[in-house]
Amino acid sequence: MAVTLPEPVRALVDGKNFATVATLDADGGPQTSIVWVGLDDGDLVFSATEDRLKVRNLRRDPRASVSITDAENPYRHTQLRGTVTITPDPGKTLPKTLSHKYLGQDPPPEGDEVERVIVRLRVERIAGNVR
């Protein structure tokens, strides 16, 4: 069951804070990736290319954990756990939105052969220290 993100957690996601996504490799071992994140309709979202290991892992096992630490105060942090859905992003809109959030500019152009997807985490559990 999805949970509503409290305002302090939303503030961490809305800030220019990097997130670490943890997925499970085929052998059950952990795999982590640093990503930019945003919110869409209460879900955490990030962009990835179809060929990335995190996407392959999530297609096999949709469980994920995302940790976000406040860049200005590392004692403020949260961990969001849940399951993901992956949808195509043929217009590559999410990377543009996130690039404007984090850098204030468009991302570098990508060729048409690069397949972008939107990974949407439905948050089921929240932990951390976000007062």
Judge whether 99 and 107 are in contact, CB under 8 Å. Answer: yes
For the cut 80, the answer to whether the pLDDT of residue 131 exceeds it is: no
pTM of the full structure: 0.94
- Whole-number pLDDT of residue 87: 98
> Could you tell me where the beta strands, DSSP code E, fall in the chain?
19-24, 30-35, 38-40, 43-49, 63-69, 77-88, 116-129
Domain 5-125 has CATH 2.60.40.60: no
**For the chain, which residues make up each domain, given as ranges?**
5-125
High-pLDDT (> 70) share of the chain, %: 99
Read off the pLDDT of each residue in 76-99 and give the average, rounded to a whole number: 97
Sheet holding 116-129, edge to edge: 30-35, 19-24, 63-69, 77-88, 116-129, 43-49, 38-40
> What Rg value do the Cα atoms of the chain yield, rounded?
14
Residue 58 confidence (pLDDT): 98
Q: Considering only CA atoms, which of 30, 11, 9, 39 is closest in space to residue 125?
A: 9
pLDDT band at 129 (very low <50, low <70, confident <90, very high): confident
pLDDT digit string, tens, across residues 22-33? 999 999 999 999
Strands 43-49 and 38-40: antiparallel
Q: Is the pLDDT of residue 130 over 90?
A: no
Helix (H, G, I), strand (E, B) or coil at 55: helix
Measuring CA to CA, which residue among 86, 111, 94, 2 is closest to residue 40?
A: 94
Q: What is the pLDDT of residues 12-25, one digit of tens each?
A: 999 999 999 999 99
